[in-house]
Amino acid sequence: MTHLPHHPTLRDWALLLVLTLLWGSAYAFIKHAVLSFSPAALIFVRISVAAALLTMWTYARGHRLPPLNDKRWLWFAALGLFGNTLPFFLISWGQQTIDSALTGILVATMPLTTIALAHVFVPGEQMNARRLAGFLLGFAGVVVLLGPVALRGLGGAGLVAQLAVLGAAVCYGINAVLARLLPDTSPSLSGAGMLIMGAVLALPFGVWDLAHMQPAPVSAWMNVLWLALGPTALASGLLMQIARTAGPSFLATVNYMTPIAAVATGLLIGETVGWNALLALAIILAGVWLARKKPVPPPV
């Protein structure tokens, strides 16, 4: 793979903002979808529809999926497992016993996992004190945003569920690094391959639950279709593009920005936002700035 520069451009920042809005809006739609769909059924339908949509878009742009003996399918399988099927399931299963605020804090550990993995496996992504301090500051902002009281739920009876959500955060970190190391492939094609393999992995449990669930109302299906189109299909293409051009550490900052988008989405559906949201926004932005700040070259 050609090693591209890890200096985010204005275009990378714009794509990151769109990705943040897509993932941040997903929580409100998931909240309504799970009233009618089991986690396994929701995951399967969401990933399968997204795979079909992104594959059609890829073919419309003149790209073609590689033959089945191409080694990139092994990469797609790993990306589908760690980027979609496994973390989607772990988070859905974990949220059956822990609330969404604590879930958001646990998932927000993903950037810390990413910079540790990227330090070892990705050239040009070495960890340093400034970058680590920036990510830690961003994580503190997420805690302020979602409410420090949520941390009281750590441990106890929900420990296994919390470990599952932490496992999902690790999966996302692995996925960000894999996306950067993937052999040179167009973002839409790699996103389609990732979703196809994710759907294959989700198929057994998803089909079983779909066959045994009660008919879902049209509103629930509309929620699932948007989850497939926006936060999954479109977001997968953006994820691959950002990881390819700006690197996994830059991509990881989206996990600090996504809770802000989730709060903004909550405002649109009538939820209230307190002073802590504005304070958290300032802390998160300061952390992102510190993590992405270019080091000052030593005097000659």
Q: Report pLDDT for 5.
A: 47
Most confident option among 2-11, 18-27, 271-280: 18-27
14 touches 242 (CB < 8 A): no
Q: How many CB atoms lie within 10 A of CB 96?
A: 11
**Which alpha helices (H) appear in 147-292, and where do they start and end?**
159-181, 187-212, 218-227, 235-246, 248-252, 254-268, 275-292
Stronger pLDDT, 180 or 76, i.e. the higher one: 76
The residue that leads in pLDDT, 220 or 113, is: 220
State residue 264's pLDDT score: 67
Cβ–Cβ contacts within 10 Å for residue 13, how many?
14
Give the lowest-confidence range in 52-56, 155-159, 247-251: 155-159
CB 65 within 8 A of CB 256: no
The percentage of residues in the chain with a pLDDT greater than 70, rounded to a whole number, is 79
Compute, in degrees rounded to 10, the torsion defined by CA atoms 94, 95, 100, 102. -30
Question: Over 50: is that where the pLDDT of 38 sits?
Answer: yes
